[in-house]
Amino acid sequence: MTDENDRRETVIGTYFVRPGAEAEFEQVLARNWPTLNALGFVTDDRPLVLRSVSEPPVYVEVMTWEPGGVDPAHVHPDVIPLWEAIKRLVEPRAVPTDPVGITFPAYRPVTLDQ
């Protein structure tokens, strides 16, 4: 028998936030997990959210999806506006990498207020 934990997926989202948009981004991201959780798409474990120490701002969000939660989230009417807002607050960015392909960016924890 397969345990539900074996089917869960933990993801690490990396957001390259536009400089100056950090406060608005944090407000939107603060609504993301509660919405996904209320709909049963992610586990009850709150996400770990970190912000880069260096500029420009980079945020990392670590959270775990329930089995089968990813696909319906992409089309759910309560989720789409949040993800569209996040898309407006981020930007493409060339990310330099260490010559051997390993980087160790430094981050600080972020507490997202609801």
114 residues of the chain, pLDDT tens digit each: 456 777 899 999 899 999 999 999 999 999 999 999 999 999 999 999 999 998 999 999 999 999 999 999 999 999 999 999 999 999 988 876 666 666 667 778 888 876
Which pLDDT does position 1 carry in this prediction?
43
Instruction: Find the Cα–Cα–Cα–Cα dihedral 63, 55, 98, 15, rounded to 10°.
Output: 30
Does domain 10-92 bear CATH number 3.40.50.620?
no
**What pLDDT score was predicted for residue 62?**
93
Burial of 73 (0-12, 13-18, 19+ CB in 10 A): buried
Confidence (pLDDT) at 107: 74
- Which pLDDT value is given to residue 95? 72
